[in-house]
A and B are shown apart, each in its own frame.
Chain A
Amino acid sequence: MKHVLIADDEDNIVLSLEFLLRQLGCEVAVARDGEQALQQAHAQPPDLLLLDVMMPGLSGYDVCQQLRADPRFAGTRIVMLTAKGREAEVARGRALGADDYIVKPFSTRELTARIRGLLDLPA
Chain B
Amino acid sequence: VTRDLRTTAMLTTLLAAAAALAVTALLLVGAWPAAQRDILVAWGAQRAPLIAMALLTGLGAAAALAWSMFARRLGFVPHLVHRIELLRSSRPELRIEAADAVPEPLAQAINALAEDHFALRRRSADELALATQQIEEERDLLSAVLAEQSAAVIACSQAGRVLMYTPAAATLLERLAPDGYLGLGRTVFALFRRSAIQHGLERLALAQQRGDARPAAAMLLAMRNGALLHARFTPLQGRQLRGFFLHLQPESAGAVAERSGDARRGLANLRAAVEMLRDYPQMGDAERERFVAVADEESARLAQQLGDVPDARWPLEDIAAETLLELLRTRLQDLLAETVDVGTAAELWVSAESFALAALLRDYVQRLGAPSSARWTLELQPQDRHAALVLTCSVQRLLDAQDWAVWEQAPLTGQGLQLSPSAIARGHGGELWQQRSDGGAQLQVLLPRAELEASPPPAAPIEMAAVTADAGDGERLAALVYTAFDTETTGLDPSAGDQIIALGGIRIVDGRIRSREVFDSLVATARRIDPAAQRVHGIDAAMLAGQPPAAEVLRRFRDFCEDTVLLGHNAAFDLRFFELQGQASGIAIDRPLLDTLLLSQLVYPQAESHQLEAIAERLGLSPLGRHTALGDAILTAEVFLRLLPLLAARGIHTLPQAIAASRATTLARLRY
Q: Once bound together, how far apart are the Cα atoms of A62 and B385, in whole Å?
A: 24
- Does B269 contact A95, Cβ atoms closer than 8 Å? no
Stretch touching chain A among B164-172, B259-267, B350-358? B259-267
A20 CB–B CB distance under 8 Å? yes
A88: B residues at CB distance < 8 A: 386, 425, 428-431, 446, 448
- Does A108 contact B269, Cβ atoms closer than 8 Å? no
A42: B residues at CB distance < 8 A: none
- Does A62 contact B271, Cβ atoms closer than 8 Å? no
A10 CB–B CB distance under 8 Å? yes
Q: Once bound together, how far apart are the Cα atoms of A94 and B290, in whole Å?
A: 34
B637 to chain A, nearest CB (A): 57
Known: A13-B272, A20-B276, A109-B275. A104 touches B431 (CB 8 A): no
Known: A91-B383, A95-B444. A83 touches B290 (CB 8 A): no
A87 CB–B CB distance under 8 Å? yes
- Does A15 contact B294, Cβ atoms closer than 8 Å? yes
Known: A83-B264, A86-B429, A96-B433. A19 touches B276 (CB 8 A): yes
Residue of A10, A16, A83, A91 near B291 (CB, 8 A) is A16
The contact string, 1 if C-beta is below 8 Å from chain A, for chain B 272-304, is 110110011001000100110010011000000
B48 CB–A CB distance under 8 Å? no
Q: Once bound together, how far apart are the Cα atoms of A109 and B508, in whole Å?
A: 73
- Does B265 contact A83, Cβ atoms closer than 8 Å? yes
Name the residue among A16, A54, A95 with the largest chain B CB count within 10 angstroms. A16
A91: B residues at CB distance < 8 A: 383-384, 386, 431, 446
B431 to chain A, nearest CB (A): 4
Residue of A10, A54, A81, A105 near B271 (CB, 8 A) is A105
Residue of B265, B267, B385 near A87 (CB, 8 A) is B385
Q: Once bound together, how far apart are the Cα atoms of A65 and B423, in whole Å?
A: 21
B541 CB–A CB distance under 8 Å? no
B409 to chain A, nearest CB (A): 11
Known: A10-B269, A65-B435, A87-B385. A58 touches B298 (CB 8 A): no
A62: B residues at CB distance < 8 A: 401, 405
Residue of A85, A95, A105 near B270 (CB, 8 A) is A105
The contact string, 1 if C-beta is below 8 Å from chain A, for chain B 357-392, is 000000000000000000000000001111000000
In chain A between 65 and 83, which residues have their CB closer than 8 angstroms to a CB of chain B? 65-66, 81, 83
B430: A residues at CB distance < 8 A: 88
- Does A109 contact B279, Cβ atoms closer than 8 Å? yes
In chain B between 395 and 426, which residues have their CB closer than 8 angstroms to a CB of chain A? 401, 405, 425
Task: Give how many B residues have a beta carbon under 8 Å from the other chain's beta carbons.
Answer: 40
Task: Name B298's closest neighbour in chain A (CB-CB).
Answer: A12
The secondary-structure label for the interface of chain A is helix
The contact string, 1 if C-beta is below 8 Å from chain B, for chain A 94-115, is 0110000001111111000000
Task: Name B294's closest neighbour in chain A (CB-CB).
Answer: A12
B268 CB–A CB distance under 8 Å? yes
In chain A between 32 and 70, which residues have their CB closer than 8 angstroms to a CB of chain B? 54, 58-59, 61-62, 65-66
- Does B265 contact A15, Cβ atoms closer than 8 Å? no
Q: Once bound together, how far apart are the Cα atoms of A24 and B430, in whole Å?
A: 35
Task: Name B297's closest neighbour in chain A (CB-CB).
Answer: A12
Known: A58-B401, A91-B386. A17 touches B272 (CB 8 A): yes
Known: A65-B435, A91-B446. A16 touches B265 (CB 8 A): no
Q: Once bound together, how far apart are the Cα atoms of A88 and B387, in whole Å?
A: 10
B298: A residues at CB distance < 8 A: 12
Q: Once bound together, how far apart are the Cα atoms of A89 and B383, in whole Å?
A: 13
- Does B435 contact A15, Cβ atoms closer than 8 Å? no
Q: Once bound together, how far apart are the Cα atoms of A104 and B279, in whole Å?
A: 19
The secondary-structure label for the interface of chain B is helix
B297: A residues at CB distance < 8 A: 12
A92 CB–B CB distance under 8 Å? yes
A116 CB–B CB distance under 8 Å? no
A2 CB–B CB distance under 8 Å? no
A16: B residues at CB distance < 8 A: 269, 272-273, 275-276, 291, 294
B267 to chain A, nearest CB (A): 4
B428: A residues at CB distance < 8 A: 88
A28 to chain B, nearest CB (A): 14
Q: Once bound together, how far apart are the Cα atoms of A81 and B257, in whole Å?
A: 17
A77 to chain B, nearest CB (A): 20
B98 to chain A, nearest CB (A): 100
A84: B residues at CB distance < 8 A: 257, 260-261, 264
A65 to chain B, nearest CB (A): 7
Task: Name B271's closest neighbour in chain A (CB-CB).
Answer: A105
The contact string, 1 if C-beta is below 8 Å from chain B, for chain A 9-32, is 010110111011001000000000
- Does B271 contact A106, Cβ atoms closer than 8 Å? yes
- Does B287 contact A13, Cβ atoms closer than 8 Å? no
Name the residue among A85, A92, A95 with the largest chain B CB count within 10 angstroms. A92
- Does A96 contact B435, Cβ atoms closer than 8 Å? yes
Known: A15-B273, A58-B401, A107-B271. A85 touches B287 (CB 8 A): no
Residue of A19, A92, A105 near B267 (CB, 8 A) is A105
Q: Once bound together, how far apart are the Cα atoms of A28 and B566, in whole Å?
A: 75
B271: A residues at CB distance < 8 A: 105-108
Q: Once bound together, how far apart are the Cα atoms of A15 and B290, in whole Å?
A: 9
Q: Once bound together, how far apart are the Cα atoms of A19 and B298, in whole Å?
A: 18
In chain B between 208 and 235, which residues have their CB closer than 8 angstroms to a CB of chain A? none
A13: B residues at CB distance < 8 A: 265, 268-269, 272
- Does B267 contact A61, Cβ atoms closer than 8 Å? no
For the complex with contacts A16-B276, A88-B430, 11 further pairs of A-B residues with Cβ separation under 8 Å are: A12-B297, A13-B265, A16-B272, A19-B283, A65-B435, A83-B261, A88-B446, A92-B431, A96-B435, A104-B267, A106-B271
Query: What are 28 A-B contacts with C-beta separation under 8 Å?
Result: A10-B265, A12-B273, A13-B272, A19-B276, A19-B283, A19-B287, A19-B291, A20-B272, A20-B276, A54-B265, A59-B405, A83-B264, A83-B265, A84-B264, A85-B264, A88-B428, A88-B429, A88-B430, A88-B446, A96-B433, A96-B435, A105-B264, A105-B271, A105-B272, A106-B271, A108-B276, A108-B279, A109-B279
Which 5 A-B pairs rank lowest in CB-CB distance, beginning with the nearest? A104-B268, A16-B272, A12-B269, A105-B268, A105-B267
CB within 8 Å of A: which residues of B? Answer: 257, 260-262, 264-265, 267-273, 275-276, 279-280, 283, 287, 290-291, 294, 297-298, 383-386, 401, 405, 425, 428-431, 433, 435, 444, 446, 448
CB within 8 Å of B: which residues of A? Answer: 10, 12-13, 15-17, 19-20, 23, 54, 58-59, 61-62, 65-66, 81, 83-89, 91-92, 95-96, 103-109
